[in-house]
Amino acid sequence: MQKLAAFVSLAILASQASAVTVWGQCTAFTACDAGNTCIKLSDWYSQCQPGVTTPPPVTTPPPTPTSTPADPPTTTTGTFVPPSAAATGLTTRFYAKGKKFWGTCADPGTLGKSGNVAVIQSTFGQVTPENSMKWDATEPNRGSFNFGNADQLVNWAVSNGKLIRGHTLVWHSQLPGWVSSINDKTTLTSVINNHITNVAGRFKGKLYGWSECLTEQGGLRDSVFSRVLGESFVTVAFTQARSVDPNAVLYINDYNLDSNNAKTQGMVALIKRVNANSQLIDGVGTQMHLEANGAGGALAALQLLASAPVKEVAITELDIKSASANDYTTVLKACLQVEKCQAITSWGVADPDSWRSGNTPLLFDGQYKPKAAYNALIQALA
C-alpha cells in the first residue's frame, strides 16, 4: 500500500488475479479469457479480441516485470500479473518520465462495461469519479448523505490497484436547490463545513477534491458561494478540508486555464491571496477540454500555473476535439517540460462515453481500440 502525496490516494494491488477479458490490453505477463486471443494493434498496444482461443502458456515462467516493462508481443504467454504491476500503458511510461500517473474518469455506469474496465485496468493508473462525488449526488438533502455510487467507485479502484482523485467538494454546478437558496453567511459557512467534513471524512486517506470558482475574466464566478461569502468561501473550504485531513494535498481546479489568459492569471493571483498567510492550496489543476488545434497554449498555461505558490500542477480532465496525435503530444510535451506538472487525467476512456462524444475527443474508439493519438503518446514516452 502506497500513499501518494498528490491526492492522498491509496494504491493497492488486486488481491486476486484473473484472465484479461475481451477488449482488454494483453502483454507478455497476461493471458486472455478462453475464446479470445491477443492481437497486436500497434508496436505499443495488443488487445484481447474474440474469436480465437488463447494459446497455452509457455512452460518457462516469464521474467519478473521491471518498472518499465517490455513492449507487448503479438501473442500472450505466461501467468497473469495484476495490471498495476504489468501494465505497459500510459501510466507506466509516464511514471518512468518522473511523473505520478496518467488517469481517467469513471463511475459505476462505465465500470459496468467490460471493455471500459479492461482498458482502465491495463492503461490508466488513476480514476476520478465523474459525477458520484458531486454535491447533488452525495448530499441531495441537507444533512442526508448518499455515498452508494462513490463507494462503488472507491472500492473498485482499491481492489484494482488504482489511485483515486476526489471530484468535487465545492463547485458552482450540480448543486441541490437547497444549497443554492441559502442567503445567510453563517448558514452557508456551516453547510460548507459539514459537507466537507462528511464527504472528505468518509474517504480520508484515500482521495480528495477541489473547486472551480472563476469567470473567464479572472474574477469570481457568480454562485451562491461568491454571492453570500465573497472570495472568503475559498478560504473557508480549504481551511475545513485541511482540518478534516491534515495530510491531504489540496487542489483547486478550473476549466479554460489553457493558455496565458486572464482567467489563468486570475487563478494565480487568487492562489497567492489565499496562500498569503498559510499553505492552504497545495496544487492547481487545469481541465484542458480543448478544441482541435487548441493545444498550442498548454505550455504557457502550465508554466504560469507553476509560478503560483503551489507544490504541484496537474491536467485534470483532458479531452481534445478530433483527438489528433499532434494535439495530444503537444499537451504531453508541455507537461514533461514543467517540473511541477505531475499528472494527466483523460476525461474518459472511449468516445461513446465522453460528455462530448460527438467530438470524438478521447484516446480509444467505440470498440475500445487505441487511436493514433494513443500510439503517438506511447511513442513520445518511449
- How far is CA 133 from each of CA 158, 198, 236, 359, rounded to the nearest angstrom? 16, 11, 19, 26
Q: What residues are annotated to the active site? A: 212, 317
Write out the three cell numbers for 266. 486570475
- As a CATH number, domain 2-14+83-380 is 3.20.20.80
Write out the three cell numbers for 202. 468518509
pLDDT at position 83 is 34
- Which residues, listed in sequence order, are joined to residue 250 by a DSSP beta bridge? none
pLDDT at position 50 is 67
Tell me if residue 120 falls in helix, strand or coil.
helix
Amino acid at 333: K
Task: Give the single-character DSSP code of 357.
Answer: G
Contacts of 72 (CB under 8 A, 6+ apart): 25, 26, 27, 28, 38, 40, 44, 45, 46, 88
Task: Quote the pTM value.
Answer: 0.77
Residue 33 C-alpha from the chain's centroid: 28
pLDDT at position 80 is 25
Write out the three cell numbers for 262. 486572464
Residue 52 C-alpha from the chain's centroid: 34
What does the domain layout of the chain look like in residue ranges?
A: 2-14+83-380, 18-81
pLDDT at position 185 is 97
Distance CA 171, CA 182 (A): 15
- pLDDT tens digits in sequence order for the chain, 382 residues long: 333 333 332 222 222 224 556 555 555 445 677 777 877 654 444 566 666 433 333 323 333 333 322 222 222 222 222 334 334 589 999 999 999 999 999 999 999 999 999 999 999 999 999 999 999 999 999 999 999 999 999 999 989 989 888 888 888 888 999 999 999 999 999 999 999 999 999 988 766 445 555 555 677 788 899 999 999 999 999 999 889 988 778 899 999 999 999 999 999 999 999 999 999 999 999 999 999 999 999 999 999 999 999 999 999 999 999 999 999 999 999 999 999 999 999 999 999 999 999 999 999 999 999 999 999 999 999 9
pLDDT at position 74 is 24
Positive or negative: CA dihedral 237, 243, 244, 249: positive
Do 280 and 242 touch, CB atoms closer than 8 A? yes
- How far is CA 49 from each of CA 41, 70, 123, 223, rounded to the nearest angstrom? 11, 21, 16, 48
**CA atoms within 13 Å, Cβ hemisphere of 344:** 29
pLDDT at position 214 is 54
Measured distance between the N- and C-terminal CA atoms of the chain, rounded to whole angstroms? 28
Identify the CA nearest to 48 among candidates 30, 83, 17, 23: 23
Do 46 and 27 touch, CB atoms closer than 8 A? yes
Identify the CA nearest to 250 among candidates 222, 264, 271, 265: 271
CB atoms within 10 A of CB 178: 12
Q: Strand pairing of 283-286 and 36-40? A: unpaired
